[in-house]
Structure 1
């Protein structure tokens, strides 16, 4: 069972602390839980939330010594973290854990990782409202202020609040494949997939009226991923001009229609590769890419591997029930 340690510090963000326990606790395969989630604090002492109540973790910093993944929820400025400095015991424990564990932050937890020196020269993100302060404090970090989360292998960071759900679900998918991740998402009553590169700040997340939304057309697109879908057809389904449809689609999703459609097709192709014996050409046609060459290009851009390598990896996971850390 993959061991997750959640390091909670004073003035922590309440939702950020709850997200890992909720997502990873319900992730299972064949009725068996895949993760254990435990919480720690410096000295195992009570820590106060930003909402005005305290929690009492069961463990001290020694929990990080045996963790496979360490997650740091968002915090506000306060001891042991104060504008760019981090208490030595926390800093040293994180640095030591980075030698054997995957390190993850949610929201402003990225400030903690940066203060520990773990993000120098690495890509990262945090809540868009805190990006200017983060960049001033940590100029060595390659900050991307726009995305939902950044996966840099053994170091992962997410944007604010709900983006922590996206990142945790991404980790389940990375560890155990889309079937387990989709099942976990259903248990959490959340969308099964949002691309990490999706915009953090969406100008118009809630349409003024159902008639002005592109949601119905997005559902229509999902039912027809294997069919040719051009922009004129999408705009026609939404009963909008191409220009209006494109603008509203981006306002509501943070992506252009083409970017969103490619992402959904890649996700569907991944699901087919993991759960069926269809040939790569058949998977490509079923996902709407038309050819194995096109599928190969888009899958490699998304996850860095070919369709056959992806299938082999996740067939191994399905047989062993485990994923290698990485």
Structure 2
């Protein structure tokens, strides 16, 4: 037998107040002055009964949903990328404090279908946050042109965008200099996703250009793309080392991929860093506690998420936003996964 749903009448009865009082308290109305004791009785009754106001009715009355959408553009990454939960928690925490709920949605691109239509044009959300937007996303460009509140974690270069990004170029320069100074010349890379993903492509290009300054070519034979998961990093490294067994250093696209890189090297009987040094990106919470602790480029997911959420709150409240594009610094964290390059027969 289906359980009876809880109504505002049930809350009013338990709290000993009228239904109109319940409505005023739970809808946050200040139309009538009520004592804090009365408000708390109503809230406590609602908590006990598990009652929540009808969100659709609230939206119709207030003209807003008090809900922000967060779109993850790469669905596969949700299951395996440890950066995303940190970012998600930070965003949700800031929005909750400001009175907003966060709706997490995945991105599904189909020919002829606008992936933002259901969320935005069905009036389910007041604003949209997009993680790792694609520069070629014409629908996102159009959404920004429309003036709908959007905050990006990443950038597509739209003149009116609100975005938070992390600059890795200086840290990549430092990380490459560190590896080169250790005597490494045979260097490979396992990016965190297939090519075509903007963050992957830009990070790989930064690495390629920095190595070139030291006279080291990072050609296609020294690159094997991962697919977001540690498992994909593992398999990519096996393929890479079969093709390039002389490599003494590998730049992993992120720390999750680096886990797979280290695991694959160990399975091949190679030690890290004795035989091959490994560098990651992100500095996730586990990075300093794996064996060996990982040298990585620190990117603060929590700070990035909080700044992005704060931008959204300011946008919705119509507050002045002095800087529309926030660019955060990164830094190299040196740990035990990098060491001097091993001597090879050709070096003797």
TM-score, normalisation: structure 2:
0.28
Higher relative contact order (CA 8 A, sep 6+): 2
Larger radius of gyration: 2
TM-score, normalisation: structure 1:
0.29
